[in-house]
Structures are given as C-alpha cells and as structure tokens.
C-alpha cells in the first residue's frame, strides 16, 4: 500500500523535498524545548509562508486550489512574533509560482507542515503560550 501512496506526483515531490525536510527537522529534533527555538521556528515559518502567500496572490489560481490558500496565516505568524518580541526577517527575493503544478507544490509543502504544527502546539502551550497569545499560527494551522 505504501508504494501506491508514494507513487506519481506526490512521491516525486516527497523525494525531491526529502533533504530540505530533514534539514528543518534537524533544527528541532525534540520539538520546541525553549522560547529561543520557538522564535526560530516562527521566524522561519513567517519567511516561508509569507513568500508563498505573496506568490500565490500573484498566481491566477482557480478552484480547487484557490480554496487551499489561507492568507491569515501570515497575520497569525506576525502576531505570534510580536508576542515573543521577535522581528521577522526582511523579505528575500520574490518567489514566483507559474502554473497549477507549481501552485500545487507550494500548497503541498505548507499544508504538509500542518501535521508538524499539531506536534509543536503542545510544546508551545507547555511554555505558557495560548491561542490568544503566542500560538495563533500553530493553533490555526495545525489545530489542537
């Protein structure tokens, strides 16, 4: 069954992004153990999610892809960064999404991170953060 799940476009995307995912996972091998690690996570997610949202807003997405966008994630991240008294990175070079295939890939990567968000939510809440202050992104992105 695993071969069937990992075949086709999804399998190619998982293979192509495996090394990048491993690098990110290595930054948080035991989840979020400190406020410094949580700030690092939020800063990185803000950079990725922000760049993706800017690019998706420029792309002409049609249904069903347009319904996958959640631009409010950027607002949640900015509120959480403010709660932790952390500044976002300056915007880097613009990301360009050309076509449905690239949009699907960008959506897949961030949607896939929602599973990790559910695991990190407990770590952040254990530090005293709540869905009203500090974990708006994790709560909205991965839910509880």
pLDDT at 15: 84
Residues 19-60 pLDDT 10s: 887 888 888 888 898 999 999 999 999 998 999 888 988 887
pTM of the shown model? 0.83
Confidence of residue 6 (pLDDT cuts 50, 70, 90): low
Sign of CA dihedral 36, 42, 45, 50: negative
- Residues 7-20: tens digit of each pLDDT: 677 788 778 878 88
pLDDT per position as a tens digit, 75-120 = 999 999 999 999 999 887 888 888 888 888 888 878 888 888 888 9
Ramachandran region, residue 128 (left: φ > 0; alpha: ψ -120 to 50; beta: rest):
left
Per-residue pLDDT at 81: 97
């Amino acid at each position: 069954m695993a071969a069937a799940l990992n075949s086709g476009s999804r399998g190619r995307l998982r293979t192509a992004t495996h090394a990048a995912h491993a690098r990110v996972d290595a930054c948080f091998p035991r989840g979020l153990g400190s406020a410094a690690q949580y700030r690092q996570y939020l800063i990185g997610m803000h950079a990725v999610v922000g760049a993706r949202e800017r690019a998706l807003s420029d792309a002409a997405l049609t249904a069903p892809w347009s319904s996958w966008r959640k631009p409010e994630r950027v607002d949640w991240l900015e509120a959480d960064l403010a709660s932790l008294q952390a500044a976002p990175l300056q915007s880097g070079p613009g990301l360009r999404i050309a076509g449905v295939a690239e949009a699907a890939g960008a959506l897949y990567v961030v949607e896939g991170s929602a599973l990790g968000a559910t695991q990190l939510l407990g770590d952040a809440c254990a530090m005293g953060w709540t869905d009203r202050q500090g974990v708006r992104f994790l709560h909205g992105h991965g839910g509880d």
